Amino acid sequence: MDPPLQKLDRVFIQYLYLLPPIIAIALFLFLYPVAYAVYISFTNFDLYHLFYYTFVGLRIYQEILTSNTFYTLLLNTVIWTVGSLVPMVVTGFILALILNQRDIKGRNVFFTLLLVPWAFPAYISLVIWYGMWNYEYGIVNKFLGLFGIPPINWLTFTNTAWAALILTNLWLSFPYYTAVFLSSLQSIPSELYDIAVVDGANAWHRFRYITLPPLMRSAIAFVSVGGFVFTWNNFYPIYILTGGGPGISTDILIVYTYQEAFSYGYYNIAAAYSVISTIILTIMAILMLRVGRVLEVIT
Amino acid sequence: MNKLGLSTGGAIIGIVVAVIVIIAAVVAVFYLYKPSAPKPTTPPGFVIPISDFTPQNVYSPSFAQTFCSKVGNVTITVWDTYSVSENQAFNASLASFEQLYPCIHVEVTYGVGIATSNFISAAKAGQAPIVYRDTSDDAGKLFAAGLLLNLSEYLPPSVFEQYLPTAAQNFYLNTPSAHGYYGLPDNINYIVMFYNKQYITSPPNTTDQLINMCLQVNSTYTCGALPMASALSGGYRFAAWFAGFGGQIFGPNNMPQLNSSAMANALEFWYNLTYDLHINAPDMNPSLEGQLFTSGQAAIIFDGPWDLGTYFKALGCNLGAAPLPVVSQTGLHASPLIGSTGWVIAAPQASGATPQQLEAALVFILYMTGPQAELNLWNYAHDIPANLQAYNTAVSQLKAGQLTHRA
């Protein structure tokens, strides 16, 4: 055999050794849990049928899709996702633009400080925020009181609960968006700005024609799709701050799924909810990927 | 001759024959009747008869010796859900148990939170702990799902009479699918009124008195002291007031009936206390109310005995405790839900336990809910005992003002 072919053979055999762990990981860490969830969503598998359960077909899906609860949860999930994503992207973008100024002093210090909310364990942050929204002792009402604004029972009423949830999520998440936008901004060659200045372009023109186009192509589209998927399934803020309440007025699909499984013991219903949520999310992500042409940019 | 054509003599003979036949039948039944086979005195695979599993026996060295000689060495797995102070009591009880039963090796997993989901996951895999400590309401769910042993089939009925009836009843379920006792209680708990004697000298008996006292606190301590800090979040704590206004959680056919005037009145009562009279702090949660009370910033809170040790440590002799007051509008006591925590045994299908492990588990839970172990819990953690003997001792200590804190 020719030496190059021998070498190819050797490489092929080496890769062959990697195959079993790759298959094992794919099967047990990815495919098995997903397949099992799909499977039990077609059964009566719950706490009371833990060892012996039977196939019930599409009954669970039919019950979910014909219930008002599902549509309330879906609407809440959209409110939560879009309501969080828009301010997060805008805030992250503005902060990145500020930090990208060449003449700004102590940029690294500011950037490090901005990362603190992201670096701090989210669970702990949320417990602290829970205290901050307290009617009587929370710092938010104390602060508003300085301006003569009467205290608000933030987490007890639907509208104020949404505001509290979205503001908390904004605080938790904006550093990520800032970091992504900033790295993207810094990849734009500074010479372009210098040439534009020589050509007489003002700040708005530089932003509109140099900064925005590459960002729109890559960072904004990428961050929007990624952020959408992440926020849709962002469990802890709602679980810790409101538990989905009052009633289910701030409950979202992922939190309700958890409650169905671990509070009520209906694993089959929880699995069906997660399958439906995943299908909706996948459709939304594909649409956004197509519209944002993120894959084209990446490839 | 009568209408039937029988002579008087014939009738007499007939009656005599009938009487003789009846007597013969009764005698035959008496001699021939054999009662149906009694319930087995020893469950399948067991070497100790059911009647021997009693709280008195498990504390007896001679029983322990017999047990070890018959059963041999056995290991049981235990999930411990006690708090830090409760664990001190548990460890003391465990040490004496292992000394008495050298043949039973207890593998304890500490720090397991009371979370049935962990137990369910382990049970599904057939790896649930053989013994588990859970609340009576959570464990009821597990029993209904067939994951716990039906103790009525493994222990003599007299065992369940060793506990406060309410505590024992907390671990009893009667549904078409599950019927019997599923656990032995190691405490009993319900919401009471804790007050700080610095602000309230004697506890209010009615809600009117409560309001007056709180208004008094408001006017006397204009800064730094709240009359009340009550976390009413969740049905458990609010249920007492619902009952005080005449409400019943379950109606006919065991269906919930919460949409009632009693509910509206109870909610209105608390709304007024909080937002009109300003004698209750709004937006409370159990953690916050505890902090306010222990730091002397709240005069009254409504909480359970699980925090008694913390409050006693913080307030010492200034701590007072009393039943919830009578609701003045209705004349009814605000009646809290009464629950228990206790020990349960996983069904063999959930844990894979052998009959000998089940026998050891039964001995273990009887020991841990016996008078000595529950007094340990009382002394270390101020858990109110469910065991009658331990309860009586604890109550007499309380009456004598001998409550102490063991750190």
| Residue B354 C-alpha, separation from nearest chain A C-alpha, in angstroms | 19
- Contacts with B114 (C-beta within 8 Å, 6 or more apart), sequence order: B81, B133, B134, B135, B138, B341
B223-255 confidence digits (pLDDT tens): 556 677 776 666 888 999 999 999 999 888 888
The answer to whether the Cβ–Cβ distance between B282 and A50 falls below 8 Å is no
Picking from A241, A218, A200, the residue whose alpha carbon sits closest to that of residue A292 is A218
The nearest alpha carbon in chain A to B178 belongs to: A48
pLDDT at position B300, please? Answer: 92
Contact residues, chain A, for B147 at CB < 8 Å: 50
In the 8-state DSSP scheme, what is residue A55? B
Other Cβ atoms closer than 10 A to A75: 11
Instruction: Give the pLDDT confidence score for residue B10 in this predicted structure.
Output: 61
Q: What is the pLDDT of residue B248?
A: 92
Residue A153, min C-alpha distance to chain B (Å): 7
- pLDDT, tens only, B107-156: 999 888 776 788 999 999 999 999 999 999 999 999 999 999 999 999 99
- For A214, residues 6+ apart whose C-beta sits below 8 A from its C-beta are A184, A187, A188
The answer to whether the CB of B48 falls within 8 A of the CB of B64 is no
Min Cα separation A126/chain B (Å): 15
B197: number of CA atoms within 13 Å, CB side?
13
Residue A52 DSSP one-character state? S
**How high is the pLDDT of residue B4?**
47
CB neighbours of residue B353 within 10 Å: 24
Q: For residue A116, give the 3-state DSSP assignment.
A: helix
Residue B159 pairs with which residues in a beta bridge?
A: none
Q: Which two tokens stand for residue A45?
A: 């598998």
> Could you tell me how many CB contacts below 8 A there are between chain A and chain B?
36
Provide the edge-to-edge strand list for the sheet that holds B192-196. Answer: B226-228, B298-303, B192-196, B319-322
Record the tokens describing residue B386, joined without a space: 């469910």
Buried (b) or exposed (e) across B267-282, using 16+ Cβ within 10 A? eebeeebbeeeebbbb
CB contact under 8 A, B283 and A135: yes
Burial of A225: CB neighbours in 10 Å, binned 0-12, 13-18, 19+: buried
> What residues in B contact A48, CB-CB < 8 Å?
144-146, 177
pLDDT confidence of B403, banded at 50, 70, 90?
low
pLDDT exceeds cutoff 80 at B184: yes
| Higher pLDDT, residue B39 or A4 | A4
Residue A84 φ then ψ, to 5°: -85, -40
pLDDT single digits (tens) B308-360: 888 988 998 899 999 999 999 999 999 999 999 999 999 999 999 999 999 99
Signed CA dihedral, B216, B221, B222, B225: sign only: negative
Beta strand residue intervals within A43-97, DSSP E: none
Pick among B283, B289, B297 to test the A interface (most A CBs inside 10 A): B283
Residue of chain A minimizing CA distance to B126 = A51
**Nearest-Cα residue of chain B relative to residue A134:** B283
Å between A114 CA and nearest CA of chain B: 30
Would you say the C-alpha torsion B321, B327, B332, B338 has a positive or negative sign? negative
Among residues 265-324 of chain B, which lie with CB inside 8 Å of chain A?
A: 281-284, 288
Rounded to an integer, the average pLDDT of B282-301 is 88
- A48/chain B closest Cα distance in angstroms: 4
Quote the minimal CA–CA distance from A14 to chain B in Å.
Answer: 37
Identify the CA nearest to B344 among candidates B173, B154, B150, B117.
Answer: B150
For chain A, list the domains and their CATH numbers.
65-298 (1.10.3720.10)
Neighbour tally for A191: CB within 10 Å: 8
Q: What is the pLDDT of residue B207?
A: 95
- Contact between chains at B283 and A48 (C-beta distance less than 8 A): no
The chain-wide mean pLDDT, for chain B, equals 87
* A134: nearest CB among B144, B145, B283: B283
Min distance A127 CA to chain B CA atoms (Å): 12
pLDDT confidence of B15, banded at 50, 70, 90? low
Say yes or no to pLDDT of A292 above 80. Answer: no
Kind plus residue range of the DSSP H or E element containing A297:
helix A294-298
Distance CA B14, CA A6 (A): 116
Find out whether the peptide bond into A246 is cis, omega within 30 degrees of 0: yes
Q: In whole angstroms, what is the distance from residue A156 CA to residue A136 CA?
A: 13
Confidence (pLDDT) at A19? 85
The pLDDT of residue B355: 95
**Can you give the C-alpha Rg of chain B in angstroms?**
28
First to last CA, chain A: 37
Contacts of residue A155 in chain B, CB cutoff 8 Å? 283
- For the complex shown, is ipTM > 0.95? no
pLDDT at B37: 47
When CB atoms are compared, the residue of A136, A262, A265 closest to B282 is A136
Q: And the tokens for A149?
A: 């604004």
B234 CB neighbours in chain A (<8 A) are: none
Task: Judge whether B155 and B51 are in contact, CB under 8 Å.
Answer: no
The total number of residues written for chain B in this structure: 407
Specify the pairing of strand B192-196 against strand B298-303.
antiparallel
Smallest CA-to-CA distance from B193 within B301, B42, B344, B350 is with B301
pLDDT for A124 equals 93
pLDDT recorded at residue B397: 87
- The candidate with the shortest Cα–Cα distance to A73, out of A294, A295, A226, A258, is A258
The whole-number average pLDDT for the span A144-163 is: 94
**Nearest C-alpha neighbor of B292 from the set B301, B305, B282:** B301
Query: Which one-letter DSSP state was computed for residue A153?
Result: -
Residues in B touching A261 (Cβ below 8 Å): 117
Q: What percent of chain A has pLDDT over 70?
A: 95
- Model pLDDT, residue A22: 86
Sign of the alpha-carbon torsion through A13, A18, A21, A22 = negative
Mean pLDDT in residue range B373-390: 94
3-state SS string for chain B? CCCCCCCHHHHHHHHHHHHHHHHHHHHHHHHHCCCCCCCCCCCCCCCCCHHHCCHHHHCCHHHHHHHHHHHCCEEEEEECCCCHHHHHHHHHHHHHHHHHCCCEEEEEECCCCCCHHHHHHHHHCCCCCCEEEEEHHHHHHHHHCCCECCHHHCCCHHHHHHECHHHHHHCEEECCCCEEECCEEEEEECCEEEEECCCCCCCCCEHHHHHHHHHHHHHHCCCCCEEECCCCCCHHHHHHHHHHCCCCCECHHHCECCCCHHHHHHHHHHHHHHHHCCCECCCCCHHHHHHHHHCCCEEEEEECHHHHHHHHHHHHHHEEEECCCEECCCCEECCCCCEEEEEEEECHHHHCCCHHHHHHHHHHHHHHCCHHHHHHHHHHHCCCCCEHHHHHHHHHHHHCCCCCCCC
pLDDT band at A113 (very low <50, low <70, confident <90, very high): confident
- Which residue has better confidence, B284 or A241? A241
Q: pLDDT confidence of A297, banded at 50, 70, 90?
A: low
Position A82 scores a pLDDT of 95
B12 vs A272 pLDDT, higher one: A272
The gap from C-alpha A228 to its chain's centroid, in whole angstroms, comes to: 5
Residues of A in contact with B124 (CB under 8 A): 50-51
Instruction: Give the pLDDT confidence score for residue A100 in this predicted structure.
Output: 86
Q: Within an 8 Å CB–CB cutoff, is residue B214 touching chain A?
A: no
Chain A CB contacts of B120 below 8 Å: 47, 50, 265
Pick the residue from chain A with its C-alpha nearest to B287.
A131
Rg (CA), chain A: 25
A35-82, pLDDT tens digit by residue? 999 999 999 999 999 999 999 999 999 999 999 999 999 999 999 999
Instruction: Report the alpha-carbon distance of residue B18 to residue B16 in Å, rounded.
Output: 5
* C-beta separation of B279 from B157 below 8 A: no
* Domains assigned to chain B: 50-188+339-399 (3.40.190.10), 191-333 (3.40.190.10)
The answer to whether the Cβ–Cβ distance between A265 and B282 falls below 8 Å is: no
pLDDT of residue B6 exceeding 60, the answer is no
- Is residue B117 less than 8 Å (CB to CB) from chain A? yes
Strand partners for B309: none
Is the pLDDT reported for residue B3 higher than 50? no
Share of chain B above pLDDT 70, in %: 85
| Both structure tokens of A235 | 């469990």
What are the chain A neighbours of B114 within 8 Å (beta carbons)?
Answer: none
Q: Distance (Å, rounded) from C-alpha B210 to C-alpha B299?
A: 11
Block residue for tokens 């340990």: B376
Greatest Cα pair distance, chain A, in angstroms, is 88
Chain A positions touching B282 (Cβ under 8 A) are: 135-136, 153
